[in-house]
Amino acid sequence: MFIKKYFEEFAVNDVRHTRGRTITETDIVIHAGQSGDFFPHHMDEEWCKTQPFQKRIAHGTLIFTVAIGLTADFINEVSMTYGYERLRFIKPVFINDTIRVTVTIKDKKDHKKPEFGLVTELVECFNQHNELVMLCEHLLLVHKGNN
């Protein structure tokens, strides 16, 4: 779905929620192949039994990728990603956990180019137990509607 949501239309504290997505073993294996991260925490079930979590955990970068993908439910034609900040992996995500995301508009400010503004979204990822597993700030460069 394509929309045009200008800087002035974003309101601090607005919230939206995504659908859920279950993390599978296939997700972990494909991500390991794409990233080159074959650490035993992700790939070796027997070794993991000797570790504190007792089972394989998903790559943090996989959870970040899936979480951000869940937020991409529309295309804002007057906005683009400017970057991400303050990325934290709070709790592990395991095979068959289902994650969902809450996005809250945290801040708005002018950009050095007067035709743009910066919108900061707080991105919080939760598992099926409603436990926070990951968070970050997504920075958006958004056109102003009066230019």
Half-sphere exposure in the Cβ direction for 44 (13 Å, CA): 11
User: How high is the pLDDT of residue 147?
Assistant: 57
In the chain, where are the structural domains located? Answer: 2-143
CATH of domain 2-143: 3.10.129.10
Q: How confident is the model at residue 73 (pLDDT cuts 50, 70, 90)?
A: confident
Over the stretch 14-34, which tens digit does the pLDDT of each residue have? 999 999 999 999 999 999 999
User: Using CA atoms, how far apart are residues 101 and 134, in angstroms rounded to an integer?
Assistant: 9
